[in-house]
Amino acid sequence: MDAKVIKKLIKEGEGFTIEFKECQTEISSSTYETVCSFSNRYGGHLLLGVTDDGEIIGVNPNSIEDMKRNFINTLNNRNKISPPLFLEFTEIKIGGDLILYIYVPISSLPITCSGKLFDRNGDADIDITTNTVMGAELYDRKRNYFTERKMFPYVNENMLRLSELMPKVRNMAQLRKADHPWINMTDMEIMQSADLYEIDPVTGKEGYNLAAVLLFGKDETIFSCCPGYITDCILRRDNVDRYDDRLMVTANLIEAYGQVLGFIQKHTPDPFYLEGVQAVSIRDKIAREIISNILCHREFSSTIPARVVIEDNQIVADNWNRSNLYGKLNPKTFTPNPKNPILARFFVSINYADVLGSGMRNLYKYTPIYANGKEPELIEGDIFKTIIPLPEFFTRNGQTNVHINDQINVQINVQLNETEQIVLDLLSKNPYITLNDVALHISRTTKTAHRNIKSLCDKNIIRRIGAKKDGHWEIIRAEQKIK
């Protein structure tokens, strides 16, 4: 979003999907009512620092940080906005004035503001709390639009893996935010807080929805509720008619994330890169956006599997989609629209994704660095496709270079399990990586990360150089091929 697009929105004037607020030093209560009504209707563009008639007056620069912080805190306060929303403002400079802009996407659930239900009508936010007819229409509209909200009243805890996965979820949430409220909640409280267990106010039915099944379901439960769910990972370099390697992922979304990430890490290069003074894996940053998109933004009513295909010079990821646009997306004009907001919010909470819209920004930021100046392609239609070019040095004269992971594999004469191999790869690429970052990369607890590092030390493969805080890891065993 840039000044040119903002000016065009202002020229269009207020309406169903555009709202102006003066709000020069603080955010008014009516702003949250607009967020609520946008979420409940078509979504919309909200601009602060603009009068009702379209005059740009700007926001006080000294107040911007406080306004942003208060906005985020309010959206995460269930007494004000329920269920919570993950949104943030962007600063746009027009002439000598700064305005705050945010796109509010349509929500999968009815959103309330201070316990009241608002809907959008023209350029007005209408309180429909006591209007039973309009309220019922809103609930029907939400229920029929989002597949993830399909309820399965007969699914019970025995058909889910809550006891196995909830400790991992709490740990990941805590890694993202030290005082995350899920830490001290019961399993059911988390499910209700994340809108995975619902009560239909129209029919009175209650139970787990499809989002809950996809995140926590046993394999047979997922297959029963969503027969087409599968993520097909393919390596196609030498044998282009079939494949060189393949992984069919049918696990729940929490575990599927790590499995797909491991496949991409196994078959793509990860060149050394410093962001400031910190070594980062730009390959993993790009993979994170690819994976979060195909796992939580796909249309699950389709039997067409999501795919990640790694070719000689590019990665192509595609999934069935409920499209709002057609053709190649332009990052300057694109406005995000969540396909599965419940899953998207859950992914944000466990750090599998960032706030809505950041995925495209990250892809356009890191792909040119990763692929020698080449940009990604995101194409929307009935099939959503993401194309990420690979670095030019990865192929030469039609021959595929051995990448870092393979070099490690052929150097160690010890059999490693999958997690140990991933941990070893992480340590080799970033010897200064922290235990928390290792746990985050492997989607496990810090205790599990420590256990795998200790195993590598016991096998005389790595050793610690220097102090616990200021030291680093060194690969010490590199003589023969793996058995």
pLDDT digit string (tens) for 328-338? 877 766 666 67
> How is residue 270 annotated by DSSP?
-
More confident residue, 427 or 116: 116
Domains and CATH numbers, the chain: 3-141 (3.30.950.30), 146-225 (no CATH), 231-400 (3.30.565.60), 404-475 (1.10.10.10)
Rg (C-alpha) for the chain, rounded Å, is 24
Alpha-carbon distances of 141 from 25, 82, 101, 109, 127, rounded to whole Å:
36, 18, 27, 10, 17
Residues 155 and 221 sit within 8 Å (Cβ to Cβ): yes
**pLDDT at site 364:** 87
Q: Which residues pair with 274 in a beta bridge?
A: 279
Give the mean model confidence (pLDDT) for residues 341-355.
87
**pLDDT at site 239:** 82
**pLDDT at site 34:** 93
pLDDT of 3-50, one tens digit each? 888 888 888 888 888 999 999 899 999 999 999 999 888 788 999 999
**pLDDT at site 414:** 58
**Res 456 pLDDT > 60:** yes
pLDDT of 382-392, one tens digit each? 788 999 999 87
* 387/290 Cα distance (integer angstroms): 9
pLDDT of 284-312, one tens digit each? 999 999 999 899 888 888 778 899 999 98
**Res 175 pLDDT > 80:** yes
Sheet holding 327-328, edge to edge: 245-249, 231-235, 306-310, 314-320, 383-389, 377-380, 327-328
Judged on CB neighbours under 10 Å (0-12, 13-18, 19+), 364 is middle
**Res 267 pLDDT > 60:** yes
CA 339, 345, 347: angle at the middle one, nearest 5?
95
> φ, ψ for residue 208 (rounded to 5)?
-80, 145
**Res 186 pLDDT > 90:** yes
Residues 335 and 45 sit within 8 Å (Cβ to Cβ): yes
Min mean pLDDT across 61-65, 330-334, 337-341 is at 330-334
Q: Tokens 């990420």 belong to which residue?
A: 388
Confidence of residue 398 (pLDDT cuts 50, 70, 90): very low
* 293/359 Cα distance (integer angstroms): 8
* 150-154, 358-362, 418-422 — most confident range: 150-154
**pLDDT at site 228:** 84
Give the mean model confidence (pLDDT) for residues 210-225.
93
DSSP symbols for 4-72: HHHHHHHHH-SBTTEEEE--SSS--HHHHHHHHHHHHTT-EEEEESB-TTS-B----GGGHHHHHHHHH
**pLDDT at site 333:** 66
* 65/141 Cα distance (integer angstroms): 36
pTM of structure:
0.59
* Neighbour count for residue 186 (Cβ, 10 Å): 11
**pLDDT at site 328:** 81
pLDDT of 85-97, one tens digit each? 878 888 889 888 8
Confidence of residue 163 (pLDDT cuts 50, 70, 90): very high
**pLDDT at site 443:** 75
DSSP symbols for 80-105: TEES------EEEEETTEEEEEEEEP
Round the average pLDDT of the chain to a whole number and report it: 83
**Res 374 pLDDT > 70:** yes
- The 3-class SS string of 410-441 reads CCCCCCCCHHHHHHHHHHHHCCCCCHHHHHHH
Give the mean model confidence (pLDDT) for residues 52-66.
91
